[in-house]
A and B are shown apart, each in its own frame.
Chain A
Amino acid sequence: MTQALIELSELGFSWPGHPQLLDIPAFHLDAGETLFLKGPSGSGKTTLLGLLGGVQRPSRGRVRLLGQELTQLSAGARDRFRVDHTGYIFQQFNLLPFLSVRENVELPCRFSKLRTQRATQRHGSVDKAAETLLAHLGLKDPEMLSRRADSLSIGQQQRVAAARALIGQPELVIADEPTSALDADAREAFIQLLFAECREAGASLLFVSHDQSLAPLFDRNLSLGELNRAAVAAEV
């Protein structure tokens, strides 16, 4: 049996002074798996991602990433652990507009020795890694690398964000509605590229979206509403 990459058990979370938002008895994501997690806005999706990133601490229960209990780490160690093992792609405006495309892609390596090391091992240098990833994602023009990130189209920006999430081979890529700003054709193409790159890097993909039409493309799909007992209770 493959080792679970993410493992949640008896997880509960509530913001201070609010009713319980998340109550997840069990959840796991296997290594190399791609998972579609359907979550309408307000379902606690962002909070769940915060918990997985170690930015928030659960009120109770356990969050394990690569077998490491996140709640046992200090805040600084959680930050380091996150950047070492997780790449993020967000909805839109993922990039620092004032940096070049290349610098944006290389950002995680600036903060993580492990990812610099892996990128260097695999591609020879961080620069090479960025170029290769961007080329795989269809951004082949070398001139584009030195352009300001905000001079790119939204679709191109999302691909740059994907390259940034994948550089230095983190074990987990978390994508939070990365396709919502793209049109239908671009959406599927983007996801296929993302799959291919995740597969190549051996990364698991946790894809959160409310767009059910994408779900069939994934190994597995789940709905946060079903997963979360707190949501069920609220509906009843």
Chain B
Amino acid sequence: MYLLRLALASLANRRFTAFLTAFAIALSVCLLLAVERVRTEARASFASTISGTDLIVGARSGSVNLLLYSVFRIGNATNNIRWDSFEHFANSKQVKWAIPISLGDSHRGYRVMGTNESYFEHYQYGRQQPLELADGRAFATDPFEVVLGAEVAQALHYKLGDKLVLAHGVATVSLVKHDDKPFTVVGILKRTGTPVDRTLHISLGGMEAIHIDWHNGVPAQGAGRISADQARNMDLTPTAITAFMLGLNSKIATFAVQRDINEFRGEPMLAILPGVALQELWSLMGTAEKALFVISLFVVLTGLIGMLTAILTSLNERRREMAILRSVGARPWHIASLLVLEAFALALGGSVCGLALLYIGIASAQGYVQANYGLYLPLSLPSTYEWTLLAGILGAAVLMGTVPAWRAYRQSLADGLSIRL
């Protein structure tokens, strides 16, 4: 133990270099742990984007594409499906509930989704958590009512009763607006950490109403226009929707229903299992995530090599220190352990500071990250895996410490008790 005291005192004597070295290690450790934590949380939040849904159905395309536009609001559907096809399956005996989805419009960069009340009733995310309203109510019979996701409301400062205009298409800069038919905010959802937060929800009737006087993708002009009040009195049952989600009475029936849908004669459709598609999508993104992890491992390695350099350069000017220690009875292995201890102390100090930095960082960025990336970073104790990483770093530092230790061992054998000035 006295050796540890000596190692620490010697380090304290070189506190500036020691501090810089430990700080470099701290930064690299912080980076590694942050990447690791974001990675874990991203995966978890990704997997919990949707739950409780047995099948997602859309026009025939790829399963990842269908998942992306129906759940993540990324990309577009290749085709619509007919309303009667939806009704056909929604009324099937095996189906417990069905949520129709109609996409294609946006509001200031946020996607608009047309759906019906069963969405608020049956849609689940995370660990089978249903959607909850933070304020107001779900849309009702009036077609021009909108329920906002938490982030939309927060970012655009909307409150209940505000009026907003939807834009046609999903581009951030919209040229064509549905400004003749404004919507009223009637409800705001609680935060979910999923794409729901970034969505504006309107009824299918509303979606139909804003497009009722459109022909071939352009609004009617002059006398052809239909006002909001006129639209209210018209039949707003849609003729087509983009996709739908199904909850089944029995999980066992999932594959049978999936086959029925895929072989449906009415029109070409695709039914996917959300879990399987999520897996598929994650395996695509997993490469980037692994690359990030490997990069941060290399950053840690760089930090440790910095430490090795600092210790090695200090060796020469510390020959006297070693010789004095030898003259008072320190054996060469004492000198060697002194250097290994020094490396260990630097890495330990660095890791502790790195952890502290991580927690300070999480505490200060938590709100921002959640609001902007929908990622909740918990201020929890390090996981077993994170402890393993830290132990690995300390192990690597000790291993690196053996290099200067070996040199000092040789040096102290050669120098003996006195060094020539």
Contacts and interface: CB of A to CB of B under 8 A. Distances in A.
Contacts of A96: 6, 9-10, 321, 324-325
Interface string A53-68: 1011000000000000
Interface in A82-100: 82-84, 88, 90, 93-99
B222 interface: no
A49 B416 CA distance: 10
A97 B328 CA distance: 15
Nearest to A79: B331
Contacts of A53: 327, 416-417
Nearest to A41: B420
Interface in B313-368: 320-321, 324-332, 334
B315 to A, nearest CB: 16
Contact of B328 (A46, A49, A75, A108): A108
Nearest to B15: A98
B253 to A, nearest CB: 76
B329 A112 contact: yes
B418 interface: yes
A110 B420 CA distance: 26
A25 interface: no
A84 B328 CA distance: 9
Contacts of A49: 417-418
Contacts of B418: 46, 49-50, 90, 176
Interface string A107-121: 110111000000000
B379 interface: no
Nearest to B415: A55
Given A49-B418, A50-B417, A98-B12, A82 B324 contact: no
B413 to A, nearest CB: 8
B2 interface: yes
Given A88-B417, A111-B334, A98 B329 contact: no
B13 interface: yes
A56 B416 CA distance: 8
B334 to A, nearest CB: 7
A93 B417 contact: no
Interface string B261-298: 00000000000000000000000000000000000000
Interface residues on A, range: 20 to 34
Given A93-B320, A96-B321, A98-B10, A55 B417 contact: yes
Contact of B330 (A50, A93, A111): A111
Contacts of A112: 329
Interface centre among B10, B329, B331 (most CB of A within 10 A): B329
A79 B416 contact: no
A215 B398 CA distance: 51
B126 to A, nearest CB: 55
B326 A98 contact: no
Interface residues of B, number: 22
Contact of A99 (B9, B326, B416): B9
Nearest to A82: B329
A88 B327 CA distance: 7
Contacts of A136: none
A46 B326 CA distance: 15
A80 interface: yes
B43 to A, nearest CB: 48
A17 interface: no
Interface string A208-221: 00000000000000
A76 B331 contact: yes
Given A49-B418, A88-B417, A55 B326 contact: yes
Given A98-B12, A99-B9, A111-B334, A50 B328 contact: no
A164 interface: yes
Given A98-B9, A98-B12, A111-B334, A83 B417 contact: no
B322 to A, nearest CB: 10
Contacts of B330: 111
A83 B2 CA distance: 16
A48 B420 CA distance: 14
A83 B329 contact: yes
B267 to A, nearest CB: 82
A46 B417 CA distance: 9
A108 B324 CA distance: 10
Nearest to B2: A110
A80 B329 contact: yes
Nearest to B416: A55
Residue from B2, B326, B418 having most chain A Cβ neighbours under 10 A: B418
A176 B327 CA distance: 12
Given A79-B329, A82-B329, A88-B327, A98 B13 contact: yes
Contacts of B334: 111
Contacts of B325: 96, 107
A111 B328 contact: yes
A94 B329 contact: no
Contacts of A83: 328-329
| Residue with the greatest number of chain A CB neighbours at <10 A, chosen from B12, B321, B417, B420 | B417
Nearest to B11: A98
12 contacts: A46-B418, A46-B420, A50-B417, A53-B416, A75-B332, A79-B326, A83-B328, A90-B418, A94-B324, A97-B13, A108-B328, A111-B330
Interface of B: 2, 6, 9-10, 12-13, 320-321, 324-332, 334, 416-418, 420
Interface of A: 46, 49-50, 53, 55-56, 75-76, 79-80, 82-84, 88, 90, 93-99, 107-108, 110-112, 164, 176
Given A50-B416, A111-B331, 8 more contacts: A46-B420, A55-B416, A75-B332, A76-B331, A90-B417, A96-B321, A107-B329, A164-B328
Pairs of residues from A and B, 5 with the lowest C-beta to C-beta distance, nearest first: A83-B329, A111-B329, A98-B13, A55-B416, A107-B328
